Structure 1
Amino acid sequence: MNEKKTNKLKILNDPIYGFISIPNELIYDLIEHPYFQRLRRISQMGLSHLVYPGANHSRFQHAIGCIYLMQKAVRILRFKGIQISKDEANGLYIAILLHDIGHGAFSHALENNIISGIDHETISLKFMEVLNDEFDGKLSLAIDIFKGNSPRNFLHQLISSQLDMDRLDYLNRDSFYTGVAEGNISSERLITMLNVKEDCLVVEEKGIYSVEKFIVARRLMYWQVYLHKTGLVAEKLLGKILKRAKDLTFNGQKLPASKAFTYFLEQKSSIEEISIETLKTFAKLDDYDIFSAIKEWISFDDKVLSKLSESLINRILPKIEIQKEPLSESYIETIKKEVKNTFNLTDDELNYFVYTGRIQNQAYDATKNNIQILYKNGTIKDVTEASDHLNLQALSNTVYKYYICYPKK
C-alpha cells in the first residue's frame, strides 16, 4: 500500500542564525525537489576556497538563510501595520528560496560559459515556471513577485534591491565562512528598521548607521573576497579551461566528461530561449562534473588543456597583476612575447595563457533600486543625501581596475 509521505522535518540548524523553521509543506516539498537539492553541490563562492579554505559553503545554505531572513522581514513589517496576506508571504518565501536555483557550477565563475547568452536569473525563472506546472500553479504569485509584476512594489524589493534578503544573507554568510570580519553586518537590526512608505521599501532614520556599515562592508568584501586577485585568477583559469575544452570538442575531439557536461561542451552558440531538454540537463550538472572532468583532462593529449587543468587542480595558478590604469599595449606585447618563447606556444595557444581584463566595484548605485531613509516627519531621502558619512557619496562611484594574467616562470 502506497502511503503519502509526510513531511516531518520542519527545522534546520544553521551556523549563522541557529534553528530555521520551514514555513509550510509546499516550501518543504520545494526544498526536497531534485532541482533545489542540486544547490548542495554548487559552491556559493566559486573558487574562493583556494584563497579562504573555509569558503566551501553552498548555494543551498544561502537559500535557506534567505528564507529565514524573509520570515523575519514579514513579521517586522506586519508588526508595523503593513498588510501582507498569507499568500503574499508565501510568495515571498518561495521567490527568495528559488532566486538562485538557476546558478550553474561554481556559481558566478562559469556564468555565461556553460550556457552562453543567458544569465542565472533567466534560468532561475525558467526553473520556477517548470516547478509551477509541477506544483499545479502554486508558484504563480512568487513568479510575479520575482519578475516585479506584483502590484505591490515593495514585495519585489525584498527579493531584489540594494537592501534585499539576498544581500543581507550572503554578506554575513560569506564573512563567516571566509573569516573576513569586515563583511559582518547586523542583518537583524537592518530588517528591524525596515518599513514601507508609498509602496516602497524604506529604512527608518534610526537605522541609517546600520545602512552605512552595510554599504562599507559590501565594498570591503568585494575587494578583499569576491575580487581577491588569487580567486580572480583561479576563476579566469577555469574559464580558459572550459573554452579550450569547447574548442577541442568543436574540432571533433571526444573529451572525457559526464553526459550532462558533454551536452554543454557540444553547444556551439549562445541561445536565446532555454528548452526543457536543456533545463533538465542543466539540472544534472554541478561542481562535481566540472572538477571530475578537469582531473581527467590533466592526462589528455592536448598540451594546452592538460597544462591548464593541472594548474587548477594542483593550485599552480598564473601570476596576476592588477593596477588602476589600463595596461599599455607595449607591456602586454612584451609579456606575450616572453611567454610564447618560454613555453613554445603558437599564437592561438598563447591566448589561453596570457589574457587581460577589467574588474569593477560599485558598493552602492544611487540611480536604481536605491536605499531610501524615512524620517519621522514622513519625508524620504536617498541614503547618500541623508548620511553625514564623508565617503558614502564616493562609494556610489564605480571603481575600475585592470589586470593581466600570465604563467609564472
Structure 2
Amino acid sequence: MDSDSSFGVDRRRLLTWGGVAAAGVVTAGVPLVSAGIGHAGSAATRPSRHDRIPPAALPGGAYDRYVAQLAAEGRFSGLVLLSHRGGTVLSRSYGMADKEKGIRNHEGVAFSLSSAGKPFNAVAILQLAQQGKLKLTDTVGRYLTGFAKDIAERVTIHHMLAGVSGMNTPEEDVQRVFGSREQVHEYYEQWARQSKLVAPVGTPTDHSGAEIVIPALILEAVTGKTYWDYVEENIFRRCGMTGSGFYTRPQWLTDRHIAHPYMMLADGSRVDAVRNLDKSSPYPYVLGRNPGRSFIASPGNGGFGTALDLVRFAHALGDGTVLDRPWADVLTGAKVPHGPTSFGAYGIPIRIAGGQWVFARAGADPGVGANWSIYPNTGWVGVILSNSDGAPLQEMTQREMQAITGASSADGGPGGGG
C-alpha cells in the first residue's frame, strides 16, 4: 500500500528521484466544448473570462517549456495533458513506455496510478450509498468480522473515507512476490484486520492503509463482486475509460499499451521494476519496495489509467455518469481542514487556489508518479503521469496549477496536507 500526502505526494519522497527524456508530442487547437465538471455546472454553459486560455497553459507557454526542460535534463519520462471544457489544449509525451520493446510513451499508454486511483474506491462506495445499499454512518462491524471490537463498533465508513478513523496499520511485507489475485486479496484482508485504534475516532490519520482496504471489503460484502470487477464495470466502463483497468503483472509484462516503471537503484542506474522483481528501491520512504511484486493492485487502491481516460473520469464526476450531482458534491465537499486553504474530502484532497476550487489526487511508487487535478469552476483538467523515478511531481503540480489559475504556491499551491 503506497503512501502519499494530501494534494501531491509526500515531498520527501519525490524531490530526489531522476527520469528519462525523449522527444515530445503536442496536440493543440482542438475545439473547446461546453462541458461542466463538478461545481462548474451552469457556469460552464456561458462565456466568461475563464474561457480565455491562459498563455502559460498553451503550447509553447511557461508550463510546456518547464516540462520540456525537465525531460531534456532526464528528470521526466511520461505524459502531461491539459484539457479545457472537454478540449485538449496541451498534450506532451516523453520517454519510453517499454525500453526493451522500443515502445514510446503516448496518449494511448496506461500508467500505474498508485494512490491516484484511490478515489475510485470512494466513488464506488458512494454509488452504493446513493442506491440505499449502505449508509456512510454504518460501522465496520455491520459488514465485516474479525476486527478489533473498538474498530468494529466505532469506526464508520465516513471516518475511513474522510481519513479520520484513528486507525493504524502494521507494516506491509514489501518483499513478498504475489502470484495471483487470490493471494493479494487474502493478504490485504488479513493485513487490514490487524489494524488498531491508536487515536480517538475522528482524528486525522497518517496514511492508514486499512482506511483504503476496509471500504473495498465492505463493497465486496454488499455487492458480492470483487472490488476490481465492480470498479471496472461501474466506473471505468460507464465513463468510457477503455484504456484503464486493474491489470495484472502478466499483462504488465506483455501488453504494449502499459508503461513500465523505471526504478532508480542506489548506484544511480534505473531498471525496469516489473522485469527485476529482485531489485528494491533504496529511498527511505519507499525502502525495499518494488511495484512489480504485486500481482494486482490491493483492494481499494491503484489501477492503471491513460491521461485521456482520467479526463473522462473527471467529466463523469460532474455530468451524472457515475454519481448523481448531489452525491458528487458529497464526494468533493470539504470534510476536514488541513491548512489555511486545503481540506480533506472523500479520497480527494481539495483546496482553494487563485480564487477557485481544485480537486486533485496524487500517487507514487518506485518508478511511478501520477497526479490528476480538476478545476471545477473553470472547466480545466490537468494530468501528469510518470514512469521513471526523478519527476518532481509536487513541483510539476504546482507549475500546472500556476499556469491554469495564476496562483503561486503561497496562494494555495500544492504542498503540506495530511
Question: TM-score, normalization: structure 1?
Answer: 0.24
Structure with higher helix content: 1
Bigger Rg, structure 1 or 2? 1
Greater RCO, CA 8 A, separation 6+ = 2
Taking structure 2 as the reference length, the TM-score comes to 0.24
Report which of the two has the higher share of strand.
2
